[in-house]
């Protein structure tokens, strides 16, 4: 897999054209694709979310459990983390607390995704360090809106 911005050296004698004339991606939210770490233990749900986010111009990384989520968050420094609260090995709230202990990840937006959002759950979710939560099943528009607000998907429009 190539990196996004690695400058390439033209080969001697080759006609080198810059890639800057590529047509803009129809659904891209920003010029640079924001990277989202999707933490979800249900593979089917994870794939659906990946499809949706990918279609809307995000770059998606996936983790299936809390340990993986913590590891990948550290390694990849995503722009936002979608955190399933019911994970197989531990709670997504626990993973959120681990992630918040890391200086570099302290301000990374974390959105809890949960099937239950009783008042008590909401309080626990926000106390664990999440920035927002989305209750499943979610409406696509609301889901995308919440994410784009947190990753600052409209940097050009900022006053
Ligand atoms: Mn789950």
Residues with CB under 5 A from ligand 1 (ion): 41, 84, 86
Q: Looking at the 3D structure of the chain, how many domains does it have? A: 1
Query: Look-up: residue for tokens 């390694």?
Result: 75
Distances (CA, A) of 33 to 17, 39, 65, 84, 135: 23, 19, 24, 22, 25
Q: Give the helix ranges, DSSP H, for the chain.
A: 43-55, 66-76, 92-100, 119-127, 140-150
Domain for residue 77, yes or no? yes
pLDDT at 23 over 70: no
84 C-alpha vs ligand 1 centroid, how far in Å? 6
Distance CA 132, CA 149 (A): 11
Find, among 59, 62, 1, the residue nearest to 25 by Cα: 59
Domain for residue 74, yes or no? yes
Distance CA 96, CA 83 (A): 8
pLDDT tens-digit readout, 92-126 = 999 999 999 999 999 999 999 988 667 788 888 99
115 C-alpha vs ligand 1 centroid, how far in Å? 8
User: What average pLDDT does this structure show over 66-83?
Assistant: 97
88 C-alpha vs ligand 1 centroid, how far in Å? 7
Whichever domain contains 114, its CATH number is: 3.40.50.2300
Beta-bridged to residue 111, according to DSSP, are 82, 132
158 C-alpha vs ligand 1 centroid, how far in Å? 35
pLDDT at 70 over 50: yes
79 C-alpha vs ligand 1 centroid, how far in Å? 21
């Amino acid at each position: 897999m190539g990196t996004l911005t690695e400058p390439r050296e033209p080969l001697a004698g080759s006609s080198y054209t810059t890639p800057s004339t590529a047509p803009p991606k129809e659904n891209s939210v920003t010029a640079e694709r924001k990277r989202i770490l999707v933490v979800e233990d249900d593979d089917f749900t994870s794939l659906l979310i990946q499809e949706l986010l990918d279609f809307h111009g995000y770059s998606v990384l996936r983790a299936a459990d809390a340990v993986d989520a913590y590891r990948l968050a550290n390694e990849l420094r995503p722009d936002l983390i979608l955190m399933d609260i019911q994970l197989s090995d531990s709670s997504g709230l626990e993973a959120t607390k681990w992630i918040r202990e890391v200086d570099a990840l302290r301000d990374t937006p974390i959105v809890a995704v949960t099937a239950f959002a009783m008042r008590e759950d909401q309080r626990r979710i926000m106390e664990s360090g999440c920035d927002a939560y989305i209750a499943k099943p979610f409406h696509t528009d609301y889901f995308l809106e919440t994410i784009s607000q947190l990753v600052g998907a409209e940097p050009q429009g900022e006053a």
